[in-house]
Amino acid sequence: MSRFFPPRPWLALAALLILCLAAGPVSNAAPAGKHSIRYFDLNKVRYLYLQDVARFYGMNCRTADKKTVLSSRYSRLVLEQDSRICQLNGLKVNLSFPIARKGPDMLLAQTDFRDFIDPILRSATVPKRKVRHVMLDPGHGGKDTGAIAAKVAEKNINLLLARRIAAILRKRGYKVTLTRTTDQTLTLQQRVAAMQKHQPDLFLSIHCNALDNSSAKGIETYIANPAGTPSSGGNVFAKKAAPGNAFNRENALLSWLLQEKLLASSKAVDCGIKRKQFYVIREVSCPAALLELGFLSNAQERHLLLQPLYQDKLSVAVCDAVQKFEQTLAPVRK
């Protein structure tokens, strides 16, 4: 339970009100009511009781050994004690903080609930916004080749894919702007400046991966990590909120839709949804994601990325995700 014991009742009430405003249905009351979620502070991180989170969603919660499964007819969340990686409806998701345990109870960090899982499970609660103008950012270009494998330069594949995505989005009625349309050198600052000039509703940076380990393959989607949380796979904390952090909940939903559509159409390996302070997605002031659409260092995936049919599969998947994102966030017509 909370270690926070305010000296006066009105202070307790004010603290509870602030907490509710910050995180919705969270309270330090015990036992948990139908819609309240108890919390516990551990190593300066606010954790929520998974039992209460499950009850809030109307999901079953079953813990066996180190594994907890939250499930309903619609959703399934598989979490593991001490792990930052979980499965959400079959997709691999990187949490900011590991699942903790207090006696028999498993705990989920409040930020992972509020800024990540909740916007995906309750997409209707993500703030409504117009999504008609999409900015595509083909990574690298000109002197900056990006990854190179077997004479295939990442910058060229990124541009090819961005052009295909742009063509399909335009056919579907979207306005599309590209940060570069040719093999041109662009700094990260120039890419963000282009965003500030054109004011798109959505920003997608297109990349391909490469690693020394040539067996590594698959697709991953990045969004900016929230302020005060570490990046995925590391411990670099975002010290203060960046412009991109104004859209944490929108970004969570966007990353989910992109990764889901991309994996369903490509059948690629799921490298997960990750959060990192990449400059372009951190500094833009609209929902944004950075896509790593495959590994050029893997021979099989490199061949696929060079095939027009596979490029189309990936491009259509990105456009389907954009469209679904737009429909979910569409302002209600009166």
The residues binding Zn ion (CB under 5 A) are 139, 146, 207
Task: Give least dist CB 77 to Zn ion, A.
Answer: 31
Return the number of the residue (54 or 258) whose C-beta is nearest Zn ion.
Answer: 258
Return the number of the residue (119 or 141) whose C-beta is nearest Zn ion.
Answer: 141
- What tokens appear for 291 in the block? 């896509």
Half-sphere exposure of 20 (CA within 13 A, CB side): 12
Decide: helix, strand or coil at residue 160.
helix
Task: Give least dist CB 154 to Zn ion, A.
Answer: 5
Please choose, from the candidates 93, 91, 88, 68, the residue with its C-alpha nearest in 3D space to the C-alpha of residue 77.
88
Task: Give least dist CB 18 to Zn ion, A.
Answer: 41
Return the number of the residue (112 or 137) whose C-beta is nearest Zn ion.
Answer: 137
Q: Which string of DSSP letters, residue by residue, matches 70-82?
A: EE-SS-EEEEEBT
Task: Give least dist CB 301 to Zn ion, A.
Answer: 15
∠ Cα 194 166 88 (to 5°): 95
- What tokens appear for 135 in the block? 């900015």
Task: Give least dist CB 139 to Zn ion, A.
Answer: 4
Return the number of the residue (112 or 292) whose C-beta is nearest Zn ion.
Answer: 292
Return the number of the residue (146 or 218) whose C-beta is nearest Zn ion.
Answer: 146
Q: Helix 154-171 vs helix 308-329: angle between axes, to the nearest 10 degrees?
A: 50
- What tokens appear for 307 in the block? 């095939």
